[in-house]
Structure 1
Amino acid sequence: MTRPLKIMLVAAEASGDALGAGLARALKGRLGDQVAFVGVGGPRMAAEGVATPFDIAELSILGWIEGLRAYGTVKRRVQETAALAKRERPDAVVLIDSWGFTIRVAKAIRAARPNVPLIKYVGPQVWASRQGRARTLAGAVDHLLALYAFDAPWFEREGLATTVVGSSALHVNMDEANGAAFRVRRGIAEAARLLLVLPGSRPSEIRRMTPVYEETIRKLKTVDPRLEVAVVAAGTVAEDVAGRVAAWPFRVHLVDEAEKYDAMRAATAALATSGTVSTELALAGAPMVIAYKIDGLSYQLMKRMVTARHITLFNVAADDRIAPEFIQHEATPALLAAAVGRLLTDPAAAGEQARRQMAALDLMGRGGPDPSELAADAVLRVIAEKTGR
């Protein structure tokens, strides 16, 4: 009897943890006890049997300045991850999202184990900036699992074999999400306006965005004191969010991951830090305003490189500013309150934005096959091609 396949999965933040968990489930669905996992991840991957040697929260780094401050930590964790690969000798390594960390891990593992297949799950957004990363990735890994069709040509031009698997965020089953039940559980009247705030999943996002959102809500509640507010606390930063929100001078409904989709369905409008949640909100039919800030120096450096007109993926797919975006110096409480206030008080505008958001998701591949299943197929295919197993 042949030994089980051993697959190493490496994720460094909450979104990658979710992708890794989905991939692990799909692989177990195919192979049962003939697959085993090692790697680095968060609580979702741990629940699927991927034990992690360290807390990935310390790797949720955004911007050049934070990257420089965390350089020693990142370097140490890269070495530990490469050592794990050398010790465990997996049949393949899947490196999930988190460009800065995973590209270093790819190079370190390649040096330690030159023949192990390396698969990148989610490529850098070279259509937005730093197109040279496509060539860097092509030289570091054997295969790319891309989320969107518009990703693939950038990497295939550099000779990197690419499989488009789609985004798991497009396949969230909102049919079971119950907004009415959420309102009943929280004592929110059916006709009450409910603002859902999603501050992010990285510690730096929480630190930077929650003060802005607090003041934004304060302005909105000055106009409408009866406005209900719910805040989502993502798993990796839940304690931090809860502690900050507890100090806000108005009532807030704190929402955990288990209730997140119910809350999205219940929301009149949403205010979100840019990320995967924008796609989930659109699927739930929630009109939204997007905000984002990084440290000032990183922004000045990034501004010179970014060529994309939008940062929200369904805006990119539609090539249109469907959901308002407020980036860096534009992400002020006054501007955010005005944009959110329009969605809260103008049902026609909110409904039209929700409809256009959903249409843009169709351009991104909504309704296609399960991405985790396609990713599992691709991983097994690469292993078979590279190792004969």
Structure 2
Amino acid sequence: MSARALTVMLVAAEPSGDERGAGLARALKRRLGEGVRFVGVGGERMAAEGVESPFDITQLSVLGLVEGLMAYPRVVACADATAALAARERPDVAILVDSWGFTLRVAQRLRRLDPALPLIKYVGPQVWATRPGRAKTLAASVDHLLSIHAFDAPYFEAEGLPTTFVGNSALSLDFSRADPERLRAQIGAPAGAPILLVLPGSRPAEIERVLPAFGEAVALLKAERPELQVVIPAAPTVAEAVKARVAGWSCRAHVVEGEAAKLDAMKAATVALACSGTVTTQLALAGTPMVVGYRIGPVTYAILKRLVRTRYVTLFNIAAETEVAPELIQDACNGLALAAEVGRRLDDETLRRAQVREQYAALDKMGRGGPDPDDAAADAVLEVLAARKA
């Protein structure tokens, strides 16, 4: 590799950020070939693109305000290790992907380390939903924002932060190679048997808080529908924890791993029971009707209830301005309620089709069918660097 190769630092602390970081790395490679090298922090997907992380990012998958306070020393130590990596590698640009609390601390350290280093934030905090003051904080910490929502820019540009809308990578997920029949063969599902897809999240805390309620719902649904096939695509960060919990269930659930198996399962599913997050957009794109559930710590919930300004937590529900997919949050996220909503959809094909149509309409509002976000993000990064050089 040329000694003059552009050194790009990519920092991501969660599975969704790892996926975005990997996509951006691939897009930069397509443009620069051997003229780019990567350093930074990430998970398995970024590692496959050449980002050797100095620590395991699963320790940064923190959910909730109280849990965040408890994890603070760990977050600070990892931010310090990231800054030390930058001091050794001397990157030409640092791109900080999602994970507000961690990447903000990294940005502050990198700014002190090298005030001239261009800092780009990829995915801004959802200031339109809660804590609008974060727009000002981010503007003081980085040089440019790559946003995934078309409505982000005014909030950040009002604080003087240049913002480029690049689109949401979840909206460009490629299902062209997904094979529902391959999934059915893998789990031995009889022809015509309904498939319930269970997606309990990618953070350890989500597995602890959400999966028990999902498990109760599955038991109730299986008791009434013995032919129901249950499939759980497990994220790499929590695969072992998911397997350990599911092993204790009273009914059989097929745990599958890997991106290909997840996409196969999304296309094969009759209905999905999903933890709130990026996966809900992916499911909508696959044409899968779903029920959304979520639980956080009671103290965190009480605080967020006062801060959050949107009626919904699911992005396509927010875009549609109505509850396209049912959201069962906190105490409502219990086995009986979840089973009732999932059961209605398992038993009513007309309801399933109507929900899929509404999900697609909401995705169109969110920018489905637009330019590839990985390519748009890569172009934006190179434009920022070119402007700096000029």
Partner of 1:95: 96
Partner of 1:233: 234
Equivalences for 1:184-263 in 2 at 5 Å?
A: 184-257=185-258, 258-263=260-265
4+ long deviations beyond 6 Å: none
Q: Distance in 2 between matches of 1:228 and 1:80?
A: 45
Partner of 1:150: 151
Equivalences for 1:45-84 in 2 at 5 Å?
A: 45-84=46-85
Does residue 9 (structure 1) correspond to residue 22 (structure 2)? The answer is no
Select the residue among 259, 264, 267 that pairs with 1:265.
267
Equivalent position SS for 2:185: helix
Partner of 1:296: 298
- CA drift of 1:329 comes to 1.3
Equivalent position SS for 1:185: helix
Contact (CA 8 Å) 1:180, 1:190: kept in 2 or not?
A: no
Q: Distance in 1 between matches of 2:72 and 2:245?
A: 27
- CA drift of 1:188 comes to 0.9
User: Alpha-carbon deviations, 1:286-318, whole Å to 9, x = none?
Assistant: 100001111111111111100111111111111
Does residue 19 (structure 1) correspond to residue 20 (structure 2)? The answer is yes
AA aligned opposite 1:237: V
- CA drift of 1:242 comes to 1.4
User: Alpha-carbon deviations, 1:113-161, whole Å to 9, x = none?
Assistant: 1110000000001111001101110111000000010112111111110
Q: Distance in 1 between matches of 2:353 and 2:275?
A: 21
Q: Distance in 2 between matches of 1:174 and 1:79?
A: 39
AA aligned opposite 1:173: D
Q: Distance in 2 between matches of 1:146 and 1:280?
A: 18
AA aligned opposite 2:55: F
Q: Distance in 2 between matches of 1:348 and 1:180?
A: 23
Q: Distance in 1 between matches of 2:335 and 2:151?
A: 34
Partner of 1:39: 40
Partner of 1:122: 123
Select the residue among 371, 374, 378 that pairs with 1:376.
378
In the superposition, relative to structure 1, how do residues 54 and 2 fare at CA in structure 2: closer, same or farther (>3 Å)? closer
Does residue 167 (structure 1) correspond to residue 168 (structure 2)? The answer is yes
Does residue 279 (structure 1) correspond to residue 281 (structure 2)? The answer is yes
- CA drift of 1:2 comes to 6.7
Equivalent position SS for 1:263: helix
Select the residue among 311, 330, 344 that pairs with 1:328.
330
Equivalent position SS for 2:273: strand
Equivalent position SS for 1:326: strand
Aligned-residue sequence identity (percent) comes to: 58
Q: Distance in 2 between matches of 1:98 and 1:263?
A: 27
Contact (CA 8 Å) 1:26, 1:376: kept in 2 or not?
A: yes
- CA drift of 1:236 comes to 1.4
Q: Distance in 2 between matches of 1:59 and 1:138?
A: 24
User: Alpha-carbon deviations, 1:178-200, whole Å to 9, x = none?
Assistant: 11231123211231111000000
AA aligned opposite 1:307: R
Equivalent position SS for 2:274: strand
Q: Distance in 1 between matches of 2:200 and 2:193?
A: 22
Q: Distance in 1 between matches of 2:246 and 2:99?
A: 27
**Any unmatched runs of 5+ in structure 2?**
none
Partner of 2:367: 365
Contact (CA 8 Å) 1:40, 1:53: kept in 2 or not?
A: yes
Q: Distance in 2 between matches of 1:288 and 1:143?
A: 35
AA aligned opposite 1:196: L
Q: Distance in 1 between matches of 2:182 and 2:54?
A: 39
Equivalent position SS for 1:385: helix
Contact (CA 8 Å) 1:287, 1:354: kept in 2 or not?
A: yes
Equivalent position SS for 1:304: helix
Contact (CA 8 Å) 1:5, 1:35: kept in 2 or not?
A: yes
Q: Distance in 1 between matches of 2:133 and 2:312?
A: 20
Partner of 2:182: 181
Q: Distance in 2 between matches of 1:17 and 1:133?
A: 23
- CA drift of 1:174 comes to 1.5
Equivalent position SS for 1:309: coil
Greater CA drift, 217-226 or 268-277: 217-226
* Normalised TM-score (structure 1): 0.98
Equivalent position SS for 2:50: coil
Q: Distance in 2 between matches of 1:185 and 1:16?
A: 29
Partner of 1:86: 87
